[in-house]
Amino acid sequence: MKLDPDEKKLLESFERGEWKPVGDEDVARMRELARRHLREDVQAGFDPLASGDGRSDNRVSGRRLAASITSRGRARRTKRR
């Protein structure tokens, strides 16, 4: 995330635990920084999916997953008996 010098100082003081909001403007700026940071983190999570690097969710893989979960559950249940 690209920050201007004032935003960088604000964020550094927050990370050190020294940030004390002077007014509503400081609180609003910190909220906006947090929103920008969150948006970038979320986008970074979606980028691999958009390029095709994500897990494929189709009926076959869903059925395999369901069968795997069912068999593990049945195995645990028989161990308990």
pLDDT band at 21 (very low <50, low <70, confident <90, very high): confident
pLDDT digits (tens, 9 = 90+) for 23-77: 888 888 888 888 888 888 888 888 877 776 666 666 667 788 888 889 988 888 8
Residue 53 has a pLDDT of 67
Domain that holds residue 72: 5-80
Q: Which of 8-12, 14-18, 20-24, 48-52 has the lowest mean pLDDT?
A: 48-52
Structure tokens, 66: 């369901």
pLDDT for the residue numbered 7: 80
Q: How many structural domains compose the chain?
A: 1
- Candidates 3, 77, 75, 73; CA nearest to 36 is 3
Alpha-carbon distance of 32 to 50, in angstroms, equals: 26
Q: For residue 55, which amino acid is it?
A: R
26, 6 Cβ separation under 8 angstroms: no
How deeply is 7 buried, as exposed, middle or buried, from its count of CB atoms within 10 A (0-12, 13-18, 19+)?
A: middle
